[in-house]
Structure 1
Amino acid sequence: MLQKDEVIYIEKIEGTRALTIYSHIGKRAPVHCTGVGKVILAYQSENEIDRILSSVTLESFTEYTMTNITDFKNHLKSIREKGYAIDDEEIELGLKCIAAPIFNHQGNVIASISCAAPKMRFGEERIPEVIMEIKRAASEISICLGYKDDNDRIETSPECF
């Protein structure tokens, strides 16, 4: 979720492999170089994006971190068009993350969901499958929160929490 111009992790499910990603509930991270942060920011109003970007520093964490505001805003537009974000070693070398937005009953993005793994586990052949599954999970959560589709009707609800 977005809190004080950063993302804060509110839930985490650990993988079963020996090599895992270090994060924990309550951890804060920058919005500009994390999949979860970028996808939440991409769906904010232009005024809110400008406000947040004027209050944060686009700090470089790796050679892949975007630090140019114009390029970053173009990247946010691309995220909105695709419906997901990828963090490809932007906050930490060797880490890849795919994130999708979670909408509330008013159609506002209030959170995001992601799958993060060591880059070696995210071969190009797996990316489309992970994108599809993350978007599906985000959609199911959104529906449970009362999100309606473009035709102003509630989709068939999955079993909600």
Structure 2
Amino acid sequence: MSALLAAASRRAVLIATAESCTGGLIAGRITDEAGSSAIFDRGFVTYSNAAKTAMLGVRAETLEAHGAVSEAVAREMAGGALERSDAAVAVSVTGIAGPGGSEHKPEGRVCFGLATAAGTICETVEFGPLGRAAVRGRTVDHALAMVLRAVEAMPLP
């Protein structure tokens, strides 16, 4: 976390999070670090579809067509967090931490979105049925690594 704090501080970059399956753990990890108020703008915990729509502007049509655990929803979550904050980087996660899942959306599948002024990228990671805590922990680590790469790619002022 200190690398993210240093990189974002040097660039005067604010970060926002939009979390479903992690329930705020990414924001919590960022704010565990002293001085994080210089880089963290806000976090949205949107566990329900209704919250995704109301707080982030995820379209009902997207949820119906793709389901909550999809790159399409992760894209709209990240974009919504970027638009509804003062952040320069917004990361989103939506997935199935477990237990459970289905044939089409197995336990351990997490979709990530990362939005900046340059656009939004998405990816899906299959962590597998590691158990709820492990999937959530790996999701936090992966999301923070995505944010760090995006921040480090931004120019210094």
Fold-level similarity (TM above 0.5): no
**Greater RCO (CA < 8 Å, at least 6 residues apart):** 2
TM-score (norm 2): 0.38
Which structure shows the bigger proportion of residues in helix conformation? 2
